[in-house]
Structures are given as C-alpha cells and as structure tokens.
Amino acid sequence: MSNRIHLHLLSDSTGETLEMLAKAALAQFEDADVVRHFWPMVRSRQHLERILPELKANPGLVLFTLVNPETRERLEQACTQSGLPAVPILDRVTEALEKALGQEAHGRPGRQHAMDQAYFNRVEAIQFTIAHDDGIGWEDWEEADIMLAGVSRSSKTPTSIYLANRGYKVANIPLVVESPPPSKLFELKHPMVVGLTTAPERLVQIRRNRLLTLNEERQTDYVDNERVKDEVKFARRMFADNGWAVIDVTRRSIEETAAAVIRLYNERKARGTRQGAKPI
C-alpha cells in the first residue's frame, strides 16, 4: 500500500496555524510521502474557484480554515462532488470555546494575526534578540526576559530566535574558558539565566560539520575531544556555582529546548523567584 498522499492546506489568512497543526499531526506517521499544496489568503469565491481544479487534479486530503460562509460552503460542496475528505480543523476547538465562553466566535479572516499590542511586542522581542546575540550589548542584558549561556555550538542562537518569535526578549553569551564573560552576567536580576549543555561527543560532531561548511579541515582545539570535554565541564561548573537552570540539548530539537525554557520561565514567574539550578 502506498503511503503517498496529496495534502491541500487552504487558509483565509497566512496559513501559519494550519501548517503548524498539519506538521504536528504528520509527525505521528512514519514514512509518509506527503505532497503539500499550500493555498493561503483565500478570501473570495473567485480565488477559490481558481484553486478547485488543482484539488481535482491532485485528489487527497483537504484541511482548511475558512470563516467566510460562502467560500467555505463552496469548498465543501466541491470536495463532496469530487469525493475528497475536507476537514475544518479549528471547528471543534471554536465550538468548545463558544460553549465555555457563552458567546459566538467572530467570523473575521486572519483575526489571530491582527496587529495588536502582542504583535508589536513580538517584533520588539525579535529586534532585541538579534541585537543581543553572541554576547553583544551586555549593557542592556537586564532588559531581557531570558539569558542563555553555553559553549560554542550549543544551540544558543537558534533557540534565542525561536523564543523571540514567541515574544520573549532573549540575550545569549558564549562561554569560553580563556575569556571570562562580563561580570554583568552574574549580577542579573530580571532575566532568567539558563545554561545550555550537550554531550561532548555530539558537540565535537557538530563543530566538525561546521568547519567542513567553512572548508576548514585543519585539526584545532575547537574539535579536540579532551579540550571540548574541559569546555563542557567549565560551563557546567559555572551553571552550578550560580544556581542557574540547566537544559541538556543533546537529543532535543530547537522547539523542544525552547519549550523547556518557556516552562522554566513560567514556573519562575509564578513563584516570583529566581530559578534555581535544575538539569532538564
């Protein structure tokens, strides 16, 4: 039996939510050969009519988030005629919220992407994070929500950017044995400092791959096994001495690491105290 399917994603907004949900669901299936067809900003009957022939030519599963009744009804009608399963993926959640809140949902396309204060806060967080990457701008670290520390190639920057997209102001600092970080790092009150660590063997592998992309094949301390072990020990000792939370990123994706950081941040915020050291 073939595992190949065509997956059509139709949204009246950017489709970000739709893509994220589809990706999460597909992660539960191994070896699935999925051909994705992405149709964002479908806000008129005319636009939909241009898409319908593509659905018929590539039959598969249709997932959609359309709030306009006319557009939605036409899509469902066309899918029924072509024998295509069509799933309005937010309906059950919306219905449950309507019941719980005792009010009807507003049928406005792209409502979740409105340029409200949360949007501007997220933009500000991204700008702050980019300006405070890799130890830059230490004078402003107190303004951060989260401070990530770790040796080179321990996922500090990508994790910072991911968290910034979630609205958190993040700064990060590389820990180098020969170059102590600014004393400001040990005096921070507002930001939650989190240490990122990883298995030395994995770190060596990542660094070797990094050097290969730079066409650098010389053997250096940067990828020396014993040297890297000393770096990791140095960082872990600093985490423990300062009571910082610690997350092992060895087998974690960026999303998983960020989720762990957010959980620690929310726990700390709920307690109103500084996060103590705790390996994750």
* 122, amino acid identity: R
pLDDT at 277: 46
| Residue 21 contacts residue 28 (beta carbons within 8 Å) | no
Strand, coil or helix: 31: coil
Which residues in the chain are classed under CATH 3.40.50.300? 117-271
Residue 173 phi, psi (nearest 5) = -135, 130
Quick check: 112 pLDDT over 60? no
Question: Can you say which residues are annotated as belonging to the binding site for ADP?
Answer: 150-157
Quick check: 2 pLDDT over 70? no
pLDDT tens for each residue of 177-221: 999 999 999 999 999 999 999 999 999 999 998 888 877 777 788
Mean pLDDT of the chain: 88
pLDDT tens for each residue of 159-179: 999 999 889 999 999 999 999
What CATH architecture applies to the domain 117-271? Answer: 3-Layer(aba) Sandwich (3.40)
Question: Can you say which residues are annotated as belonging to the binding site?
Answer: 150-157
pLDDT tens for each residue of 6-43: 999 999 888 888 888 888 888 888 777 899 999 998 98
Cα–Cα distance measured from residue 134 to residue 79, given in angstroms and rounded to the nearest whole number: 51
> Is it true that domain 4-112 has CATH number 1.10.1790?
no
